[in-house]
Copies of this chain bind each other. A is one copy, B any other.
């Protein structure tokens, strides 16, 4: 299957399932690829209403609905949000939905009824984060089913306090991520995922297929050329880098068809790219807990 004709993950993984299980919703999800370049056309009002209704229909823990969606369409505000998130494409997309985890509303409900808001523990935090995430994924799938493109914007967490101020967030809320939505200026390629036997286990957790799966994925990802000109630099002091890391950076693009089953250990693939990212502390994210506490969250 030529890469250019691949329109969903089933094709990408050379699997064919009976038509009976290929519903429109499944086809939409299997066709997902993040879109970072948008046409200027606005998202029609009815489309936005359908997207938001899909979001509000998602499951929610205890029916708490512990999230708030902030719709940002104003061009100047999108520009500012792009700056705060270090992501140019945010200003290009005509619509940004910001998904906030929200315990403030529940606190107000307790006050309204004359009860104290009990422990604000880690599990309530998790409930709010999961509520926001499930709503967001419904919004994403709804948008994509309408021919719109989407991209999650985790980088909205790069400056949690400034973003909270920008959005006028009350205490005990925070912007978990944004979701840019718009008509794609071009259709991006679907990105291969880890083989199913790496991420899906049966009855109990098992890493029996981990090594083999990582090697296969490394070869697949290196072959896409996705890491060309995007290699993560190893720090000059060598901290965190074993000898092989340096040699890896000089072998990018050297993968040949013959390497794909058992790639050389110094292939710059998903493993090397991911390990380099994780080895370096993220200057803007490592203090997330402190920022969240400053925003009124307790754990």
Known: A28-B25, A113-B244, A242-B114. A202 touches B70 (CB 8 A): yes
CA distance A154 to B124 in the complex (A): 11
User: Which residues of B have CB within 8 Å of A204?
Assistant: 70, 167-168
A17 pairs with B32, CB closer than 8 A: no
Which residue from B17, B69, B113, B136 sits with its C-beta under 8 Å from A49?
B17
A side interface size, CB within 8 A: 133
User: Which residues of B have CB within 8 Å of A58?
Assistant: 29, 32, 137
Which residue from B26, B30, B138, B288 sits with its C-beta under 8 Å from A29?
B138
User: Is A177 interfacial (CB 8 A cutoff)?
Assistant: yes
User: Is A22 interfacial (CB 8 A cutoff)?
Assistant: yes
What is the minimal beta-carbon distance from A129 to any residue of chain B, in angstroms?
6
Known: A74-B203, A110-B278, A130-B176. A26 touches B244 (CB 8 A): no
B70 pairs with A53, CB closer than 8 A: no
Known: A53-B9, A105-B210. A118 touches B240 (CB 8 A): yes
Residue on B with the closest CB to A52?
Answer: B200
CA distance A10 to B176 in the complex (A): 27
User: Which residues of B have CB within 8 Å of A59?
Assistant: 32, 34, 137, 140, 150-152
User: Which residues of B have CB within 8 Å of A32?
Assistant: 57-59
Known: A105-B210, A113-B244, A275-B112. A133 touches B123 (CB 8 A): no
Known: A46-B18, A199-B65, A204-B167. A109 touches B70 (CB 8 A): no
CA distance A26 to B58 in the complex (A): 11
User: Is A228 interfacial (CB 8 A cutoff)?
Assistant: no
Known: A29-B138, A71-B203, A112-B214. A122 touches B242 (CB 8 A): no
Q: Sample 28 A-B pairs with CB under 8 A, ordered by A number.
A: A9-B56, A13-B53, A23-B50, A25-B142, A29-B142, A34-B59, A65-B193, A67-B199, A69-B199, A70-B200, A70-B204, A70-B205, A77-B203, A105-B210, A112-B211, A114-B243, A114-B244, A114-B275, A115-B245, A116-B240, A119-B282, A122-B292, A123-B285, A129-B130, A130-B154, A137-B138, A169-B205, A289-B299
For the complex of A and B, list the 5 residue pairs with the smallest distance between their C-beta atoms, beginning with the closest: A114-B242, A133-B133, A25-B145, A137-B137, A113-B275
